[in-house]
Amino acid sequence: MQDLAQNGYTSVEVKKALQAARREISFRYELLNNQNQVKKPKNLFATVRSGHVNNNALSTIKRTARFVLVEDPDINFLSDRIKPYVKLKMPDGGYVEFPQGVFILSTPPRKISGGVIFRDVEAYDLLIKLSSPRIKDRYVVPAGTNYIEAVNTILVSEGFALVNLTPTNKTLPADKDWDPGTTKLQIINNLLGEIEYRSLKMDENGIPVAEPYISPQDRASEHTYKNDSSSVIFPDPQEHLDLFSVPNEWVLVTSEPDRPVLVSSYTNDNPNSPTSTVNRGITVTDFRQEEIAADQAALDAKVQRIAFEASQIYQQVEFRTAIMPMHSDFDVFTLEYTDLGISAKFSEVSWSMDLKVGAEMTHRIRRVVEI
């Protein structure tokens, strides 16, 4: 989540302004060159007819946008970028600003309507730079190479001068290579995955970020949404907790040549579990054949692990708020919605909003619950 404290205002002051019954929000758009430098000191507001930004923490390309642009000779669609900001006016007349990402533009056809030439442009954050070029030769990272240094080498080769990569002391235990045709983003994410980092993301200013994965349960809540007197939540959240297809019996069977068949089963008959055979009154079986296990004990352990993992599912909530421009990627915050009996910490899977006055922002959040 972006820092609320800026331009001499405290986070408390900015939060109060965001939640005010009457607030003034506006937008501006910077035109950047391919080095993320402001191309011209002008606001593209007259050029941008409309804008929409979406962030999906579970996608490879996490942040996308869509702009309707009036024909503007200053824009080079092959190299330029657009950086939108949400501006919040403070009670004393000053402003705080929240960048919403740096976007590379597609080159859609020109259209004309009412005598005005415009383009309907799909745009992507700078991860698209790493997902398009594919290596021509086998790419090798030698044993002993530091994982993060290997990631940084790739980013530098693609022109990223500024990076935010959490250091590690872990090194590759053996040579690792990738076939021709692999994208550089896939190589980076493979390396990060081996050291339990999240996949690469771009921050709001177009800087690559690599950081260790920390379970949302172990992270502090960064914000609280409440349906109280200062609420910015619209009144129709939706909660999803799909228990219907969750098994309560698991059966594993080995099938290997020249070995006797092994069978292991586990039944959830816990009266405290809502999906148990006791509470549901029916048995829903997950039957798996041709499993591989060293012996009966290993198969027994495997069936218990599978049953345990199946007993943890996601509670998902979708809700709408007024535009809250401080959201970033995979934020962790608390939702307290008394009408649905919700009071818990969630991680944000995705958010989206139109960049216009009076628009709503949609949030999709989830948390693990044990059943």
Which amino acid, residue 292? I
DSSP label at residue 126: T
Q: Which whole number is the average pLDDT over 111-125?
A: 92
Helix (H) or strand (E) holding 193: helix 184-194
Q: For residue range 126-173, what is the model confidence (pLDDT) as tens digits?
A: 999 999 878 999 999 999 999 999 999 999 999 999 999 999 999 999
Predicted local confidence at residue 294, as pLDDT:
65
DSSP label at residue 110: P
Predicted local confidence at residue 132, as pLDDT:
83
Q: How far apart are CA 49 and CA 203, in angstroms?
A: 25
Alpha-carbon distance values, 23 to 2, 310, 356, 357 (Å) = 19, 45, 14, 10
What is the homologous superfamily of the domain 216-241+314-370 according to CATH? Answer: Bacteriophage T4, Gp27, baseplate hub, domain 3 (2.40.30.150)
Q: What percent of the chain has pLDDT over 90?
A: 71
Predicted local confidence at residue 364, as pLDDT:
96
Q: How do the domains of the chain map onto residue ranges?
A: 11-126, 129-199, 216-241+314-370, 249-310
pTM of the model: 0.84
* 11-126 and 216-241+314-370 share one fold: no
Query: In the CATH scheme, what is the code of domain 11-126?
Result: 2.40.10
Predicted local confidence at residue 315, as pLDDT:
87
Q: For residue range 287-333, what is the model confidence (pLDDT) as tens digits?
A: 988 677 767 888 888 888 888 777 777 889 999 999 999 999 999 99
List, in sequence order, every beta strand (DSSP E) within 214-340. 224-226, 238-240, 249-254, 263-267, 285-291, 312-322, 332-337
- pLDDT grade for 266, boundaries at 50, 70 and 90: very high
Q: Which whole number is the average pLDDT over 109-124?
A: 91
